[in-house]
Homo-oligomer: A and B are copies of this chain.
């Protein structure tokens, strides 16, 4: 039950023999468009020649920004102005740059809890002072956010940033409730809080269109929305984009890194521009939606069949993750070695909280394996949980 490819000298993923590892939030290598990108890289060099290899325009090659602008206008109902879009080296890289250029060391950054655990590391390294805000089945609790901001202000601290994954959340799969989206962007605008919207999973929508981005709802300047080609095309490209207020985009474009090196990942950006311009992005996304929808359904169906009745989980409407809760008294981190012995692995949910969190939660990623492996993983997990309960 291993996956295609995966030479550990080349890729990040490592396999443990006999273990179906739902801890990795990675796409299935078999779904990556190698042939299409091969063609696109060649087309970019044929068409642009040395322009694809010189220092790139600091905001990214215009054909890619233009294509994104048209697509965003069509799918989100709001067109970014030319000064409101920037090509990035993926969401993690963009987040790193935002921490350097929009915040000062020691500034308060609010993060929903649970949240994407590796983003927390980037925020902490700058170093920012992280303050958690709770979430529930409707996503980030905007009432709790307002209370946290008020408490911080009374203590003389103005929070600078909020990092959030409002759509197909990592790790919970939840999308922020529409009313809360509006309340959040209003609160952010009123408080001068910059919302960093990690929008990695937008294209992976399985039950109809994704909810509107915070960026599309917000007054200019309140939200920096980070998009990515990692999930919709291929993570090894290390390419993404952002939409934000013109002043924020200018701050990034005028920073030392882009001034010195030109646009981020210029050659790759030119190749992806050719890929998208040839209509391959839409085809790829349609294929991925169908494939991952089937995987979600396989995993959720098998969890229903195999997990004890006192386990809880949610079927997400998009993204890569099922967030599950073991019966009270079970500790997902403590159980993990036994799960691995039983041939299945996951991410303990406590890792997604700033300072630990409910020990009985876990994250199951369904992107990497085909449906039959996911069903087998659920069967194995059920056996491990029953044996421990």
**Could you tell me which A residues sit within 8 Å of B by CB distance?**
4-13, 26-27, 29-30, 32-35, 37-38, 41-42, 45-46, 48-58, 61-63, 89-93, 96, 100-101, 104-106, 118-127, 230, 234-238, 255-257, 259-268, 270-271
Contact between A56 and B267, CB atoms less than 8 A apart: no
Residues of B within 8 A of A121 (CB): 255-256, 259-260
Q: Do A236 and B56 contact each other (CB < 8 Å), given the known contacts A10-B61, A121-B256, A260-B118?
A: yes
Q: Which 8 A-B pairs have the closest CB atoms?
A: A121-B256, A29-B50, A9-B62, A105-B105, A118-B260, A53-B234, A122-B256, A236-B266
Residues of B within 8 A of A51 (CB): 5-7, 10-11, 29
Contact between A12 and B263, CB atoms less than 8 A apart: yes
Residue of B nearest to A10 (CB): B51
A-B contact pairs, 28 of them (CB 8 A): A5-B50, A6-B54, A10-B48, A10-B62, A11-B54, A11-B56, A26-B55, A29-B50, A33-B53, A34-B49, A34-B53, A37-B267, A41-B42, A42-B42, A53-B235, A92-B261, A93-B261, A96-B257, A118-B256, A119-B256, A122-B260, A235-B261, A235-B266, A236-B267, A237-B266, A238-B262, A238-B265, A238-B266
Residue of B nearest to A4 (CB): B50
Distance A89 CA – B48 CA, assembled complex (angstroms): 22
Contact between A118 and B259, CB atoms less than 8 A apart: yes
Q: Do A262 and B125 contact each other (CB < 8 Å), given the known contacts A29-B51, A38-B41, A238-B267?
A: no
With both chains docked as a complex, state the minimum distance between the C-beta of A268 and any C-beta of chain B, in angstroms.
6
Residue of B nearest to A42 (CB): B38
Residues of B within 8 A of A125 (CB): 100-101, 255-256
Residues of B within 8 A of A63 (CB): 9-10
Contact between B37 and A5, CB atoms less than 8 A apart: no
Distance A290 CA – B8 CA, assembled complex (angstroms): 39
Residues of B within 8 A of A45 (CB): 34-35, 37-38, 41
Residues of B within 8 A of A13 (CB): 54-55
With both chains docked as a complex, state the minimum distance between the C-beta of A51 and any C-beta of chain B, in angstroms.
4
Q: Do A50 and B62 contact each other (CB < 8 Å), given the known contacts A12-B55, A90-B261, A262-B12?
A: no
With both chains docked as a complex, state the minimum distance between the C-beta of A59 and any C-beta of chain B, in angstroms.
10
With both chains docked as a complex, state the minimum distance between the C-beta of A247 and any C-beta of chain B, in angstroms.
17
With both chains docked as a complex, state the minimum distance between the C-beta of A129 and any C-beta of chain B, in angstroms.
12
With both chains docked as a complex, state the minimum distance between the C-beta of A25 and any C-beta of chain B, in angstroms.
9
Residues of B within 8 A of A7 (CB): 48, 51
The one of B38, B50, B267 that contacts A268, using a Cβ cutoff of 8 Å: B267
Q: Do A5 and B49 contact each other (CB < 8 Å), given the known contacts A41-B42, A93-B257, A266-B236?
A: yes
